[in-house]
Amino acid sequence: MNSPPLTAWHSGVCDCFENASTCCYGFWCCPCLACTVSGRHGENRCLPLCDIISPGVCAAFGIPACVPPAVLSMRTSIRKTYKIKGSICKDILVSCFCLWCSWCQMHRELKHQNKTTAVVNVVNQTIIQQPAPMMMMMQTQPPVYVAHH
């Protein structure tokens, strides 16, 4: 069975001026944008907090570097869901070095996919009207007789 061909991201990581409202939103409130992307993709809106907390936790345990887990997992999930070309290696690089641009790109992609995924399937159905069963037609109330004196 042939799977559909992989496509490219609708916009590049640094295509901020393609949709300035996304990048302005990301610039002024990056955590809010990340939480919005997470929620729109069906994940917990608090997931991006892992990216904020994880560097401190890693430093506390003496781990020198850490790939932001939320942006990496969301990026990979969006890429797999919409069959976008890429690899885990590229996702790690973008997640580590272009964290907020990656959230902006994912936001633009979800907006694009939301616009283009409306599928209408029209099916003609033939409806055959059948007469009511004979038993139903014969069931009537017996006449009520009232005696007059």
Domain encompassing residue 42: 16-116
Task: Confirm whether 143 is domain-assigned.
Answer: no
DSSP H or E stretch at residue 132: none
13-17, 23-27, 130-134: which is most confident: 13-17
pTM of the model: 0.66
Contact 102, 75 (CB under 8 A): yes
Mean predicted confidence (pLDDT) in 74-81:
95
Query: What is the 3-state secondary structure of 9-68?
Result: CCCCCCCHHHHHHHHHHHHHCHHHHHHHHHHHCCCCCCCCHHHHHHHHHHHHCCCCCCCC
Quote the pLDDT of residue 117.
Answer: 46
CA 63 to chain centre: 33
Asked whether residue 72 is domain-assigned, the answer is yes
pLDDT tens sequence across 128-143 = 766 655 555 555 566 6
Mean pLDDT of 41-68: 83
Q: In this predicted model, which residue has the larger pLDDT, 81 or 148?
A: 81
So what's the pLDDT on residue 63?
79
Reduced to 3 states (helix: H, G, I; strand: E, B; else coil), residue 139 is coil
What total number of domains does the chain contain?
Answer: 1
pLDDT score of 47 more than 50:
yes
Q: Let me know if residue 103 belongs to a domain.
A: yes
Domain assignment present for residue 121? The answer is: no
Domain contains 1: no
